[in-house]
Amino acid sequence: MYKVFVNDKPLFLTNKVEKETDFQMFLMESVDIEQLLRRMFTNRIEKAFLYHPDEKLALKMLKDKVPVAKAGGGLVYNKRGEVLFILRNGKWDLPKGGIEKGEEIEDTALREVEEETGVSGLKITHKLQKTYHVFKRGERYKLKVTHWFEMKTAYDGVLTGQLDEGIEKVAWLKPDDIKEALKNSYENIKLLFEDSAVKQEV
């Protein structure tokens, strides 16, 4: 099952038909995706399932219907085991950004983390899951597919938030602080912590 967040509300791509309870179910083949996204953005639908017998094909169909923006980001640890967070639009987030032409996604992730936080000496330790969320640019919806990487760094210098990206603060957070920060974060960021090594502590 794939989980796509639309305005921080879950849209599940599933190959199981389930009885509607606290959600609405739609058929991927026949759904008016624009209308569904509009209803989720305007809080008329809180949770939805898109059914197709083949989940991977369902994701491909969604990508065909909604233009894709590819991004890379990092879950970065320092030597003290703290994690690098940014505060943007009043919410805690992880550094990430869009891919540039001709760039490998790993290079995108490393570049964006450094640009957004001032942290250098980054090394990718392994690939994490991808996250999916729909955002709106003008009148158009886009599906952001973010490739996440766990990174390590020995950097101990000044943290510098990228102002033109609206970053208000950059901070290394201890496991206890992460728990608090995730209460004021995005659902797709919480997913990463469910999957990562910090899971046991958070």
Distance of CA 11 to the CA centre of its chain: 14
The verdict on pTM exceeding 0.75 is yes
Please report, for residues 23, 36, 68, 170, the alpha-carbon distance to residue 10 in angstroms, rounded to integers and kept in the order given: 10, 12, 18, 28
Q: Who contacts 78 (Cβ-Cβ below 8 Å, separation ≥6)?
A: 84, 152, 153, 154, 155, 156, 172
DSSP 4-45: EEETTEEEEEESS----SSSEEEETTT--HHHHHHHHHTTS-
**CATH code of the domain made up of 68-200:** 3.90.79.10
pLDDT digits (tens, 9 = 90+) for 65-88: 999 999 999 999 999 999 999 999
pLDDT digits (tens, 9 = 90+) for 157-169: 999 999 999 999 9
**pLDDT of 201 over the 80 cut:** no
**Distance between terminal CA atoms of the chain?**
24
pLDDT value of position 19: 87
Domain definitions of the chain by residue range: 2-65, 68-200
Q: Which of 39, 40, 104 is nearest to 70 (CA)?
A: 104
